[in-house]
Amino acid sequence: MSDLPKAIQINEEGPREGFQFERGAIPTARKIELIDSLSDTGLNQIQVASFVNPKNVPGMADADQVVAGFTRKPGIRYTALWLNEKGLQRALATGRLDVKGSLSLTASEVFLKRNQNRTAAQDIEAERSIAGMYKANNVPVERASIRAAFGCNYQGDVPTAHVVDLIGKLIQAAADEGFTIKLVSLADTMAWATPASVKRLVGAVRETYPDLQIALHLHDTRGMGIANAYAGLEMGVTIFDSSVAGLGGCPFAGHSGAAGNVCTEDLVFMCDEMGIATGVDLAKLIVSARLAEDVVGHPLPGSVMRGGTLAALRDAIKTGAAA
CA proximity to 37, closest of 266, 265, 314: 265
Among 141, 146, 191, 205, binds a copy of itself (CB under 8 A): 191
Q: Binding to a copy of itself by residue 200, rule CB under 8 A?
A: yes
Q: Binding to a copy of itself by residue 140, rule CB under 8 A?
A: no
Which residues contact residue 53 at a Cβ distance below 8 angstroms, ignoring those fewer than 6 apart? none
Q: Binding to a copy of itself by residue 159, rule CB under 8 A?
A: no
Active site residue 271: no
Among 68, 196, 294, 297, binds a copy of itself (CB under 8 A): 196
Distance CA 106, CA 120 (A): 8
With contact defined as beta carbons under 8 Å apart, do 244 and 288 qualify? yes
Q: Binding to a copy of itself by residue 317, rule CB under 8 A?
A: yes
Q: Binding to a copy of itself by residue 206, rule CB under 8 A?
A: no
Q: Output the smallest distance, CB 116 to a copy of itself, in A.
A: 16
Q: Output the smallest distance, CB 301 to a copy of itself, in A.
A: 8
Q: Binding to a copy of itself by residue 248, rule CB under 8 A?
A: no
Binding piece for a copy of itself, criterion CB under 8 A, among 77-85, 153-161, 165-173, 235-243: 153-161
Q: Output the smallest distance, CB 266 to a copy of itself, in A.
A: 4
255 to 294: interface string for a copy of itself, x by CB under 8 A: x-xxx---x--x--xx--xxx-------------------
Which residues of the chain form contacts with a copy of itself (CB under 8 A)? 1, 4, 151, 153-157, 191-192, 194-197, 199-200, 220-224, 226-227, 229-231, 255, 257-259, 263, 266, 269-270, 273-275, 302-304, 306-308, 310, 313-314, 317, 322-323
